[in-house]
A = this chain, B = another copy of it.
Amino acid sequence: MLRLAPPAYERPLQSPQFVATFGGGEANVAVSTSNYGIPSAFVTALPANHEIVDACLRELRGFGVDVSQVVRTDGGRLGVYFLETGANQRASKVIYDRADSSIALAKPGDFDWDAIFDDATWFHITGITPAISEDAAALSMEAVEKAKEKGLTVSCDYNFRKKLWKYGKTAPEVMRELVKFVDVGIANEEDCQMSLGVSVDVDVESGELDEKKYEALAEKMLEEFPNLKMQAITLRESISASHNGWSACLHDGKGFYLSKKYQITHIVDRVGGGDSFSGGLLGGLYRHPDDPQAALEFAVAASCLKHSITGDYNRVTPGDVDGLIKGGGSGRVQR
């Protein structure tokens, strides 16, 4: 998707200008995993003969993401979203303009999953794709089924988006089927509830979150979806648009792990924050395969850093993440 944001904290068109970058759930994760040294490919459908799309792919390729399996279509649009960046009590706002995007029009059979999954070991999907159209939901099911069939590990960020889910099915109707093919589930508390209908009693508006309840929620997820090997949950305390608390927890069936909590007091850009956690978790599990706590800390530190970076993509190296984990974020100039 093309992301169009007014400069700094302006409301749209105060200046006749948009900062134009690219993003979107799965692409954001692919950039992250590639940054962490994992060979990564991004698969989607995008319109052909479109210079803005060419630029989008050029950027992904630059990050080392393999885009050779992207399908260029004659119909369909490049999805767009407008982002207004909030501050203090004024929340950031997103206006989506992605109806009739190429991926929304894509159908099962449009992708050559055998070729795509050849040599692959992991497949990541979000709850956004099944939300955009009935065809995209069917395509998503095809993808996870095929991935499991080919022996890949499947991860999924449940990612509930209320304004989508307009084609007649509810999120849980679709997502509960899809999650049956998932090994590693990623969500915040609201996603569990709204995408899958799984909840425990926590007030998401309060800001002050009771971390203990999250263990119960993760356990409940693992029970309801026994295929899940792992459930990660992010814990965001929204104090204002400029200040969030940020931490996460993980349950792998054997143990429950709670991360360090970061106070992010001067948020630069929090869009893509959740995706950066997914990417960080994949990176963490890749780098610390036998240490769930370390993998989780990697994921939380990586996504903590994302909040200081402009744009959807989390432009950090493993060294940046490890530096934060070790150094504690005191912010001394590195020279």
Interface residues, chain A, CB within 8 Å of chain B? 4, 8-21, 50-52, 55-56, 58-64, 77-78, 80, 82, 84, 86-97, 99-100, 161, 163, 205, 207, 238-244, 262, 264-268, 270-271, 301, 304-305, 307-311, 315, 320, 323-324, 327-335
With A14-B16, A330-B239 in contact, do A335 and B163 touch (Cβ < 8 Å)?
yes
A87 partner, pick from B80, B268, B335, beta carbons under 8 A: B268
CB-based nearest B residue for A240: B331
Taking CB atoms, residues of chain B closer than 8 Å to A268 are 9, 87-88
A55 and B17 alpha carbons, distance in the complex (Å): 12
Interface contact B310-A89, CB-CB below 8 Å: no
Q: Known: A84-B51, A88-B265, A95-B52. Is A14-B334 also a contact (CB below 8 A)?
A: no
CB distance from A1 to the nearest CB of B (A): 12
Verify B51–A82 contact, CB threshold 8 A: yes
Known contacts A62-B61, A90-B305; A207 and B13 CB within 8 A of each other: no
Find chain B residues with CB under 8 A from A242 CB: 265-266, 331
- The 8 Å CB contact of A4, one of B20, B21, B96, is B20
Taking CB atoms, residues of chain B closer than 8 Å to A265 are: 88, 240, 242-243
Contact A334 B77 (CB under 8 A): no
Cβ-defined partner of A62 (8 Å) among B17, B62, B95, B310: B62
- Distance in angstroms from A10 CB to nearest chain B CB is 5
Q: Which secondary structure dominates chain A's binding surface? A: loop
Question: Which 9 residue pairs across A and B have the least CB separation, nearest first?
Answer: A241-B331, A62-B62, A89-B329, A94-B335, A13-B55, A238-B330, A58-B62, A242-B266, A90-B308
A95 to B91, CA, bound (A): 32
Tell which of A15, A56, A266 has the most Cβ of chain B within 10 Å: A266
- Distance of A207 from chain B, by nearest CB (Å): 6
**Chain B proximity of A59: nearest CB distance (Å):** 6
List residues of chain B with CB within 8 A of the CB of A97: 77-78, 80
